[in-house]
Structure 1
Amino acid sequence: MKFLSWNVNGIRACVSKGFLDFFHEVDADFFCIQESKCQAGQVELSLEGYQQYWNYAVKKGYSGTAVFTKHTPLSVHYGVGEETSQDEGRIITLEYENFYLVNVYTPNSQRDLARLPIRLDWEDRLALYLKELDAKKPIVYCGDLNVAHTEIDLKNAKSNIGNSGFTYEERTKMTELLASGFIDTFRHKHPDETDHYTWWSYMNKVRERNIGWRIDYFIVSERLKEHVDVATIHTHILGSDHCPIELQLDIKN
């Protein structure tokens, strides 16, 4: 099974920059996007063979997630836990016979860390939700998680300590989640490799010089570890300030 995840930073803009070419070329079973930045009816994607599930933010031109899948889910849930909606459209869960797919766009703490308390509350509620799902069947959790977990996950670690996306609190939440029975699939396959990033600032020449952060992830239940065939980053794909990431699992839906 092939899974793709991409923060498209506005699906309408990304479509104009080649999104559909990549989408059809990669031919994934599941393609998750974050930061769609659109409302219902603002974009029509011709994705033959795929079902489309969208979670729109109430605020126009902001946040939002979607999943495009070849496989009909048993159920679809929008929100965390008992919530059935979420104003910022940040999460979609698809249930299948053998796993849950959870697509997430994690709130950014903001440059001045004004949203850090909101972010940490989100992390706690999401971790509880993921553990509840995992108790029923394995999960595949993906998206823009807005944190570089370790120092090898960003280019300039020392100068970014304490900054949004690299605070002690955010990194600790990731550590705690992984310790509770989940694995970062990219680090599982590439434990010590450096200079692998998924996001770059739009500042001049930053992407060309690969001064980036790895903040997009596929995280799976520990018991799926031996089923991880491929975990890779498509750094050559443009169209957003993020690039797509890919996971291949030897499982059935």
Structure 2
Amino acid sequence: MRLISWNVNGLKAIMSKGFIDIIKSFNADILMFQEIKTDVIPLDLQSLGYEIYVFPAKRKGYSGTMTMTRIHPISVSYGLGKEEYDSEGRVIILEYPEYYVINTYFPNAGEGLKRLDFKLSFNRDFEKFVTSLKKPCIICGDFNVAHQEIDIARPKDNVNHAGFTPQEREWFSHFLSLGFVDTYRMFVKEGGHYSWWSYRFHAREKNIGWRIDYCVVSESLKDRVIKADILEKVMGSDHAPILLEIQ
């Protein structure tokens, strides 16, 4: 099974950047998109042979997730059951016979860390939800945190900045300790590989980036992972898509 996760930074915007051809080139069984910023699904997307599940934010032009799948799920559910998060369209859960596939867009702690408490609250409730499930999980999305110093080009400059605070990083370590695996780090141990770059200062060109997008799987699925990668050359967003192949 081939999965792609990608923060597209606006579905309408990326549609004009060859998005349909990019999707076709992925040849993925399941596609998970974050920050779609719309509740309108273009007809071109609907004609690609995927079932499409959308969880838009109530606020227009903000947040939202979308999952496209060729593999029909047993069930589909949306959100964590709390309005303060679910109004922002952050989680889509597809249930399959052997596991859950979860598309998630974690909150950004915000400028001046004004949403750090909100994010940490979301993290705790997401953790509670996922650990309550009775099957293993494949969790893909924008976690909005660079876990280790090797996951960010300039760690010293970004201490206590949103996405690299001790609290966010500690939570991610804690989450993995509950029985989850960062699949990319199964294959790539060194730094210098990122999934997000600022649009400013030619950051992508200079590879001054952050690795904040992850495919995380339950320990029991670890041996079934064939490949995990960042598709750094695929353009269209300030994020790169990430890939997971699993048996």
TM range (shorter): over 0.9
2:48 match: 48
Q: Hey, what's the Cα distance between the residues in 2 that align with 1:36 and 1:56? A: 8
Q: Hey, what's the Cα distance between the residues in 2 that align with 1:77 and 1:87? A: 14
2:104 match: 104
Are 2:145 and 1:147 equivalent residues in the alignment? yes
1:170 match: 168
> What is the TM-score normalised by the length of structure 1?
0.94
Q: Hey, what's the Cα distance between the residues in 1 that align with 2:101 and 2:41? A: 25
Q: Percent identity?
A: 46
1:138 match: 136
Q: Are the counterparts in 2 of residues 11 and 36 from structure 1 also a CA contact under 8 Å?
A: yes
1:4 match: 4
Q: How does 1:153-192 map to 2 (within 5 A)?
A: 153-190=151-188, 192=189
The number of residue pairs the alignment matches comes to 245
* Structure 1 unaligned residues grouped into runs of 5+: none
Q: Hey, what's the Cα distance between the residues in 2 that align with 1:47 and 1:242? A: 25
Are 2:237 and 1:236 equivalent residues in the alignment? no
> What is the TM-score normalised by the length of structure 2?
0.96
User: What SS does structure 1 have at the residue aligned with 2:126?
Assistant: helix
Counterpart residue type for residue 26 of structure 1: F
Q: How does 1:184-223 map to 2 (within 5 A)?
A: 184-190=182-188, 192-223=189-220
Q: Are the counterparts in 2 of residues 81 and 129 from structure 1 also a CA contact under 8 Å?
A: no
Counterpart residue type for residue 120 of structure 1: L
Counterpart residue type for residue 247 of structure 1: L
CA RMSD of aligned residues (A): 1.3
Q: Are the counterparts in 1 of residues 38 and 61 from structure 2 also a CA contact under 8 Å?
A: yes
User: What SS does structure 2 have at the residue aligned with 1:208?
Assistant: helix
1:22 match: 22
* Structure 2 unaligned residues grouped into runs of 5+: none
Q: Are the counterparts in 1 of residues 46 and 52 from structure 2 also a CA contact under 8 Å?
A: no
User: What SS does structure 1 have at the residue aligned with 2:206?
Assistant: coil
Q: 1:22–1:223: structure 2 CA closer, same or farther, 3 Å change rule?
A: same
